[in-house]
């Protein structure tokens, strides 16, 4: 039976996939501008939801909430840049370094141990990602470094979510993300020329904000429901969405190794989930 944390992460991955494709569609707009408008839409939605459910603000651990928002905002801007400057699957591939950073930093920040076999399964999944990626001459080193930095900030943000498990409602955490990212992206826009969206651009921007907010909510629920090392690997499933959207919407193609790589990615994810369940069962039985 699929646990709630796993189910939440699978839903989050799907909605993030929709958001990624929508960002790619707006390649004529500056990435920072998209991040700003995405954050503005998410902030309105998050505030409305928090008020609807009468959830008290400003939260209990405001320092940690603000840090989560800052780390997430930094990751968001860098990620949107890579989405626009790389093939879709390439940008998503680099973002998939975040589960590794999350697990490593989780050892120190939330004191969660990662078993040796889990490192093997992470390695299998990321090896599959590399097979999907291959050596792509369309990717510049600068954007590779930005992608790695985005993954690092994401890992920090996910660990902050885990730290906030005992003190904050998931909707409060999702509210703080756009609350911080709006002023951060506004500040960044001071050095970027504004390009006015036209026509269907506005619909796509709203779609980005809605899908991002839904994805953030499910991701937060996932990280608060399960150990980080159990659910972070599920993010690799999103490579399937990236390949599909990239091929059908943007005409992007990859080698035959990409198809084998997808199977390898899924194998690593499934083995990690199986291992965590097996260990939990053994502990419960006293083995």
| Domain with 59 in it | 4-285
What rounded mean pLDDT belongs to the chain? 86
Structure tokens at 249: 């919407």
Structure tokens at 22: 């929508």
pLDDT tier, 286 (very low <50, low <70, confident <90, very high otherwise): low
* Residue 77: pLDDT over 90: yes
Tell which residue, 2, 1, 6, has the closest CA to residue 222. Answer: 6
Integer angstrom CA distances of residue 269 from 91, 105, 169, 188 = 20, 20, 28, 37
**Which pLDDT score, from 0 to 100, does residue 21 have?**
93
* pTM of full prediction above 0.85: no
* Residue 184: pLDDT over 90: yes
pLDDT tens profile 129-147: 777 766 566 778 788 889 8
* Residue 282: pLDDT over 70: no
pLDDT tens profile 1-34: 678 888 898 899 999 999 999 999 999 999 999 9
The number of residues making up the chain comes to 287
Number of domains in the chain: 1
Distance, in Å, from the CA atom of 103 to the CA atom of 27, rounded to the nearest integer, reads: 32
**Which pLDDT score, from 0 to 100, does residue 137 have?**
67
pLDDT tens profile 227-241: 776 787 777 788 888
């Amino acid at each position: 039976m699929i646990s709630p944390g796993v189910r939440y992460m699978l839903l989050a991955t799907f909605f993030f996939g929709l958001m990624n494709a929508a960002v790619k569609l707006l390649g004529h707009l500056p990435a920072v501008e998209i991040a700003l408008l995405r954050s503005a839409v998410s902030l309105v939605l998050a505030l409305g939801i928090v008020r609807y459910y009468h959830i008290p603000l400003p939260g209990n651990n405001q320092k940690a909430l603000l840090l989560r928002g800052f780390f997430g905002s930094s990751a968001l801007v860098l990620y949107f840049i890579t989405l626009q400057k790389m093939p879709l699957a390439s940008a998503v591939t680099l973002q998939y370094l975040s589960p590794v950073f999350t697990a490593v930093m989780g050892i120190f920040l939330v004191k969660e141990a990662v078993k040796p076999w889990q490192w093997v399964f992470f390695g299998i999944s990321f090896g599959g990602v590399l097979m999907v990626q291959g050596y792509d001459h369309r990717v510049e080193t600068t954007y590779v470094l930005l992608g790695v930095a985005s993954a690092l900030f994401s890992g920090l943000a996910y660990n902050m979510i885990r730290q906030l498990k005992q003190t904050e409602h998931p909707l409060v955490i999702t509210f703080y993300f756009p609350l911080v990212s709006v002023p951060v992206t506004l500040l960044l826009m001071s050095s970027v020329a504004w390009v006015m969206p036209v026509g269907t651009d506005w619909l796509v921007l709203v779609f980005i904000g809605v899908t991002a907010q839904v994805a953030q909510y499910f991701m937060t629920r996932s990280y608060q429901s399960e150990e980080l090392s159990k659910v972070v690997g599920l993010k690799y499933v999103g490579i399937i969405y990236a390949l599909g959207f990239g091929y059908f919407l943007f005409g992007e193609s990859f080698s035959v190794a990409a198809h084998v790589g997808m199977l390898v990615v899924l194998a690593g994810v499934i083995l990690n989930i199986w291992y965590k369940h097996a260990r939990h069962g053994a502990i419960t039985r006293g083995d």
